[in-house]
Chain A
């Protein structure tokens, strides 16, 4: 474990000189509080986000040479191609697509005008969307993306979402993901999900699977078709397998060493920069997007853990926590971040998440997480770090965590910490030695001392382990039955919740012996 650095001798001299002056200032009038004093810099931070934004913008400027001059008749020629592409003749429409590619990106603004103008009629607007996609340039992708983000007719939004997937403009990914958060038109959701997948992001999978089971036959068919395409693209047999592969970062992973384009990098860093915003609205959106991107983003989030801005560091950790094992490339950065008092608790939680079930799939990662987290449960660490580390150890799943967690459960530490240790312990899988931890969690289901939802989730997961165990299967059925009265309710009555938790506590305590056999 890293230790805080000893103060440099020069620092002591400076401090000695500055102290009297500081005292004099302290005697003066008290102004408004300044930012809190920083602790000794045991963890180095840098200007990560700002430098990334500046450098990428410069590189992008250099890479994208100035467009050639626009021919005088470009507008007329472009609009002519719109008319052709909007016609019924498929062969001519193909020719229009070829010709617009020859006109290149300067044609994009004229096509964008058609796309945005209701007066052009549906056929022309649809044709403009196809022609813009054929240009396959940032200037052409922007109006398509803006249409998906705006309040255009649903069919046009869906069409633009689809057309984006026919291009190589992967920089649209973060903004398209954000649209997924707010989009209410199901057809548009289907095509956003498909385009996301084209760009190696399967964040739209659950929405798509839900729409594929819709009552609306046409929607069901459309979503089902796209879902089948996604399964084929990812080489997975079913939705559950694809979900797991995406969670673990196996689906959608780019080839080793492949870097996204400069624009996509810039858009991603812009999202990371939004973590600094004052209003949580923008921060929430950035967290939503970043947590749903792939391993490349996780690597950048790992860098952001050393940003000079404390908000960026904390929120980057939150994004990694929400990302799960897809973000495991950031595990070393998270281990280092445990030395930053500002973000240590968040880093512990995120490490537990990115290394979730690593004991089963990636023993080296599990061992590294265990070595970093287990010492953080010790009394010399702040309570929030100890809590997060105890819980995280359960998610990692390495049995080496048992001794530390068992000792904590049996200790006279605050009940919140004992509960976190118990939660960690039961997540490691059932053993006959679990009795004290399970008993504690069951008792806490009816106690105001901790949040009862936490032990309830942990016990539910524990009961679901080893489904072939008859007593556990029966207990799980009884557990589910005890929740029947609140099942599917958005606002279950407080009394019903209390009754549910009391019943669940009773059944676990009554059957404890047989459950542990």
Chain B
């Protein structure tokens, strides 16, 4: 015991010294402010997140061949505002975005979402010692953060009109879930949406019922917290059917919000929780039929008179209906 006393005394002294240093000592040296000219700089420390973002469609917003074709290589400059936006914290949360001039090829990049007006970086923690000097900003996960671009076609309004806000499910719940469902692992930056078959399949259900001798196809928005499809005018989802054994699909219905120059077309998107019922009044549909729900990233068919969804669209759901 006599031997232990001095040791215990030393331990207490050591602890006290550590406490003093911890309480009154110098904080970790602040990092040299880093100047960001490209989101590639972020990859030096955040390789995993950067790789996820590179896989995302946000990284493709300027270079994707379809958007380039639809905008005629951005000769339609109206598209630039959202496809190469200035930092959202610069224009303000919930405010409309503005176009930027530099690094357009990086699209909707790290800087667009995380750069603060003072040159620091918005993140989930504040850390003056890290090179990017992150500052905790909870607005990053707010639905209004996405609104500057994604509410231009009313997606956030559609979400607000649904019961998803009450359920506590917002944009990031579905499109940026925690990695492996673990909040300590941060959020997935691949931001899956309409390009993901799994997301599409979760969004809608396809079924058929027999009523008065007719097949009635039902498409229900069961999982999207907004219209199906939503956001981009170029998106379309088509219902086709064919008698069992036939190879050629017959068009039944299109879900789509048209471009504003398509003055003769109506907005037929399917709101959250809604069901669209589509009777097939055709003698060829008297027997067993096959129904397919297809999704298209571009609204146009090579041959509008004889669309080929197998070749030009993604099959989301298929059901076989037999009397």
Partner of A492, one of B69, B95, B105: B69
Residues of chain A within 8 A of B91, CB atoms compared: 36
Question: Interface code B38-78, partner A: CB below 8 Å = 1, 0 otherwise?
Answer: 10000000000000000000000011011011000110011
Partner of A453, one of B68, B96, B99, B137: B68
The reply to whether the CB of B103 lies closer than 8 angstroms to some CB of chain A is yes
Question: Interface code A373-410, partner B: CB below 8 Å = 1, 0 otherwise?
Answer: 00000000001110110000000000000000000000
Chain B interface residue count, CB cutoff 8 Å, equals 43
The reply to whether the CB of B117 lies closer than 8 angstroms to some CB of chain A is yes
Give bound CA distance, A384 to B85, whole Å. 12
Query: A384-B100, A387-B101, A416-B102 are contacts. A497–B138 as well, Cβ < 8 Å?
Result: no
Give bound CA distance, A454 to B96, whole Å. 26
Give bound CA distance, A349 to B89, whole Å. 24
A33 and B78: CB pair below 8 A? no
The reply to whether the CB of B81 lies closer than 8 angstroms to some CB of chain A is yes
Look across to chain A and name the residue whose beta carbon is closest to the beta carbon of B138: A30
B92 and A36: CB pair below 8 A? yes
Give bound CA distance, A471 to B237, whole Å. 51
Which residues of B297-319 have CB atoms within 8 Å of chain A's CB atoms?
298, 300
The reply to whether the CB of A171 lies closer than 8 angstroms to some CB of chain B is no
A280 and B81: CB pair below 8 A? yes
Partner of B102, one of A34, A184, A383: A383
Give bound CA distance, A35 to B96, whole Å. 12
Interface size class, chain A: 35 or more
Give bound CA distance, A492 to B65, whole Å. 8
B261 and A181: CB pair below 8 A? yes
The reply to whether the CB of A84 lies closer than 8 angstroms to some CB of chain B is no
Look across to chain B and name the residue whose beta carbon is closest to the beta carbon of A490: B69
The reply to whether the CB of A137 lies closer than 8 angstroms to some CB of chain B is no
> Chain B nearest CB: distance from A326 CB in Å?
17
Look across to chain B and name the residue whose beta carbon is closest to the beta carbon of A348: B101
B102 and A36: CB pair below 8 A? no
The reply to whether the CB of A82 lies closer than 8 angstroms to some CB of chain B is no
A345 and B105: CB pair below 8 A? no
Residues of chain B within 8 A of A12, CB atoms compared: none
> Chain A nearest CB: distance from B222 CB in Å?
29
A interface, CB within 8 angstroms of B? 30, 32-37, 181-182, 184, 278-281, 283-284, 287, 310-311, 314, 318, 322, 345-346, 349, 383-385, 387-388, 414, 416, 448-451, 453, 490-494, 497
B interface, CB within 8 angstroms of A? 37-38, 62-63, 65-66, 68-69, 73-74, 77-78, 81-82, 89-93, 95-96, 98-105, 117-118, 136-139, 142, 152, 260-261, 263-264, 298, 300
New contact pairs (15) apart from A310-B98, A453-B74, CB-CB < 8 Å: A32-B139, A33-B137, A33-B139, A35-B92, A36-B89, A36-B117, A182-B260, A184-B264, A279-B96, A280-B81, A280-B152, A416-B102, A448-B63, A449-B105, A497-B65
